[in-house]
Amino acid sequence: MALIGVLALQGAFREHEKALRSLGAEVRELRQPQHLEGIDGLVIPGGESTTIGKLLVELNMMEPLKRRLLDGMPAYGSCAGLILLCRDIEDSEQPRLGVLDATVRRNAFGRQVDSFETSLPVKGLDEPVQGVFIRAPLITRVGSGVDVLARVDMAPHGGAGEEIVAVRQDRILATSFHPELTPDTRLHQYFLDMLA
């Protein structure tokens, strides 16, 4: 079975670990560069993207992780994880892996008090997932090689039209929302299937 490294520097990493283990995956918490040895895939949880990015630099993990991703190691990022994977972050120079050809807007839905849940159709899944959005980012631009998997209606949140909240580029999966905070493990299974 695949060995999945879950970045455990900050954020909701334990919830991702629980979901992955429930699907039979072996999980290793990543806190030091040597923890990257032998992992088959990477999960970057939600949390504070600025803090996680700074810690990746301080712990000398940023460049080794980026190399592994550029070499084709599968990765899944939720919320802050999505931000760290994106090439461009609006109005920010924060450290990032930058391997996903997309632009992201941080905290696009507002503050913590503006958090919400919604039923969300996701391309490739038969039934909608429950999207949990907590100070969530939005993807404002995608490159030609990026497949949009889900959009959310922004009208209830003061926006216009539908905005991108889940994407896949080759072996990189990213969501604005937090599937790890629900009992539904289908997106984690989708990620594990990418390793096959």
180 is catalytic: yes
User: What is residue 112's predicted lDDT score, i.e. its pLDDT?
Assistant: 57
Number of domains within the chain? 1
**Comparing 26 with 47, which gets the higher pLDDT?**
26
The helix or strand, by DSSP H or E, that contains position 171, with its residue range, turns out to be: none
Q: Which of 73, 13, 192 is nearest to 85 (CA)?
A: 73
pLDDT range class, residue 66, cuts 50, 70, 90: very high
User: What is residue 76's predicted lDDT score, i.e. its pLDDT?
Assistant: 98
φ/ψ of 109, rounded to 5, equals: -95, 0
User: What is residue 89's predicted lDDT score, i.e. its pLDDT?
Assistant: 95
- Output the average pLDDT for the chain: 92
86 is catalytic: no
pLDDT range class, residue 33, cuts 50, 70, 90: very high
CA distance 154 to 145: 24
Least confident of 48-62, 110-124, 125-139, 151-165: 151-165
CA distance 107 to 168: 21
pLDDT digits (tens, 9 = 90+) for 130-170: 999 888 899 999 999 999 999 998 666 566 678 899 999 99
Residues 163/123, Cβ–Cβ less than 8 Å: no
Catalytic: which of 15, 16, 163, 178? Answer: 178
Catalytic: which of 15, 17, 163, 180? Answer: 180
CATH number at residue 90: 3.40.50.880
For Cα atoms 134, 136, 137, give the angle at the middle one, nearest 5 degrees.
Answer: 170
The helix or strand, by DSSP H or E, that contains position 43, with its residue range, turns out to be: strand 41-44
Catalytic: which of 16, 79, 86, 163? Answer: 79
Per DSSP, the three-state class of 70 is helix
Could you give the percent of the chain with pLDDT greater than 70?
93
Amino acid at 190: Y
φ/ψ of 108, rounded to 5, equals: -70, -20
In this predicted structure, the answer to whether residue 109 has a pLDDT above a threshold of 70 is: no
Mean pLDDT score, 54-61: 96
Could you give the percent of the chain with pLDDT greater than 90?
79
User: What is residue 99's predicted lDDT score, i.e. its pLDDT?
Assistant: 98
In this predicted structure, the answer to whether residue 12 has a pLDDT above a threshold of 60 is: yes
> How is residue 20 written in tokens?
């992955």
178 is catalytic: yes
What's the domain range around 150?
Answer: 3-194
Instruction: State how beta strands 162-169 and 147-153 pair.
Output: antiparallel
